[in-house]
Amino acid sequence: MYQFSDKIFDIAALLSCLQDTDSKRLVLFGAAGYGEALFDELTRRMIPLPIVFADNDPTKQGRLLRDRPIISPKDTDPSTDLVVITTISAGDQVSAQLESLGFTRDMNYFEVMQKLDYSHAFDVIDFYQGYVRAFGGLDILHVGPGGHLGVEILLSVLGARSVYSVEYHSFRLQYPDVTEVERFYTGLAETAKKKWQHDIYQNGPLIQNGKTLNIRKDMIHLLYPCSVTALPFAEFSFDLVLHHAVFEHVPDPEKGYGEIFRVLRPGGKTVGLVDPQDHRTFSSFKEYHPLKFLEHSRQEWYELARDINFHNQVTTPEHRQMALSQGFRLDKWDVLVKMDVSEEIWQSFHPQFSDFDRDEIGILRFAFSATRPVQ
Ligand SMILES: C[S@@+](CC[C@H](N)C(=O)[O-])C[C@H]1O[C@@H](n2cnc3c(N)ncnc32)[C@H](O)[C@@H]1O
């Protein structure tokens, strides 16, 4: 398990605030991995306030995490509680929610930021290189970059002709001024130089201007907010569209696959990794197994998931069917994580899933590449 202080920028600010506060209780908003890690860190530091978790997921409310109760956000109180938002994915919505409950930013609620890890960008590039021979000369679209544009910078350095990126949620993405997260980009640049002997600053996508570091907007184009289900590009705009751990979060993935098909040139390729599993298992709740979300009807799940870091209930065989029905030719299909669906788990699914292929539904992570045929 990582140390929370390795993952955020402002643990020191949070600790000093905890020393001065008049609050009676500390509420960690987000009963998941980051919340747990922060809990462990604060417990090690023996902070004096009692700690509880809050979460918008009604299936978590009333449970215990690290032996502490998980409460509904409605049961927080601005006059006595200090809230720390630990959910990176839904930070904007949660801030707005807390403000509507009477909390004030940096007075009785704080947000911890994810410390970005540039090695992830190299991992993603290495992964795609298993599917795409070279990026040189291509017009590339990256869907859902998350908290940084590291992948985009590396694609540009590797010779892409143009790099576009579309992001639907803020994920605290900084652009084009990245001075606040400078260490991420300078680390990325140094590593790229060692690995590929490419200089990111010399005619590259980063410009250091005195104390500020900027991403060149003419080289890396970010469109935000923008959904893969409504891409503002003409037909035949790209040679390659990448998406990494995005399609399980899209409410209407079929539309997203259709949009990718539309913007690709004939002969163009899409490559992606999809994680069709219950993301509640990414914390230490023993009660959730990776397919537990299939116990709910579609309608129930969409209601439940609406206020949490949304992920859809689309299973692996459905993703494949949705992508291929757009007209793609499948080039490569890799199962990366799979579980055996026991009789007990199979029987627990909502009847809506009873016609599905039991073996394929157990695929929890897959990657594929597909081409828009030339015809
Ligand atoms: C699990 S994160 C993965 C981030 C990044 N690709 C990575 O590998 O770390 C999912 C990303 O998909 C983005 N996303 C979700 N729905 C989207 C949509 N409809 N269109 C574009 N991006 C979307 C989220 O905002 C988030 O950045």
55 alpha-carbon distance from chain centroid? 18
279, part of any domain: no
80 belongs to a structural domain: yes
The DSSP output letter for 255 is H
Does residue 325 lie within any of the structural domains? no
Q: What is the pLDDT of residues 56-69, one digit of tens each?
A: 988 899 999 999 99
- Calculate how far, in angstroms, residue 178's C-alpha sits from the geometric centre of ligand 1: 19
Note if the pTM is more than 0.75.
yes
Q: Ligand 1: which atom is nearest the Cα of residue 169?
A: 25
Question: How far is the centre of ligand 1, averaged over its atoms, from the C-alpha of 247 (Å)?
Answer: 8
88 lines ligand 1 (CB under 6 A): no
Domain for residue 104, yes or no? yes
How far, in Å, from the CA of 29 to the mean position of ligand 1?
21
Number of domains in the chain: 1
- Spatial distance between the Cα atoms of 161 and 73, rounded to a whole number of angstroms: 47
- Residue of the CA atom closest to atom 15 of ligand 1: 249
Closest residue by Cα to residue 6 from 33, 35, 46, 38: 38
Q: Which domain holds residue 71?
A: 4-111
Q: 321 CB contacts (<8 Å, ≥6 apart)? A: none
218, 142, 215, 226: which is closest to 181 by C-alpha?
215
- 182 contacts 214 by C-beta, under 8 angstroms: no
Nearest CA to ligand 1 atom 25: 169
Using the mean position of ligand 1's atoms as its centre, give its distance from the Cα of residue 34 in Å: 18
Question: Contact 237/228 with Cβ under 8 angstroms?
Answer: no
Ligand 1 touching residue 171 (CB < 6 A)? yes
Give the pLDDT score at 310.
Answer: 80
61 within some domain: yes
Taking the CA of residue 166 as reference, the ligand 1 atom at the shortest distance is 21
pLDDT of residue 198: 83
CATH code, 44: 3.40.50.720
Supply the residue whose CA is at minimum distance from atom 27 of ligand 1.
Answer: 146
271 lines ligand 1 (CB under 6 A): no
Pocket test for ligand 1, best of 118, 141, 166, 168 (most atoms within 8 A of CB): 168
Give, in degrees to the nearest 5, the angle at Cα 40 between 279 and 5.
90
In angstroms, rounded to a whole number, what is the distance separating the alpha carbons of residues 366 and 375?
Answer: 28
Contacts of range 74-80, beta carbons closer than 8 Å, 24 or more positions apart: 74/101, 76/27, 76/101, 76/103, 78/102, 78/103, 78/104, 78/108, 80/23, 80/24, 80/25
Residue 59 lies in a domain: yes
**Is 272 inside a domain boundary?**
no
* pLDDT for position 303: 85
Q: Which two tokens stand for residue 53?
A: 């978790």
Which residue owns the Cα nearest ligand 1 atom 19?
A: 227
Position 97 in a domain: yes
Which residues in the chain come in under a pLDDT of 70?
A: 1-10, 13, 113-115, 307-309
The C-alpha atoms of residue 103 and residue 100 are separated, in whole angstroms, by 7
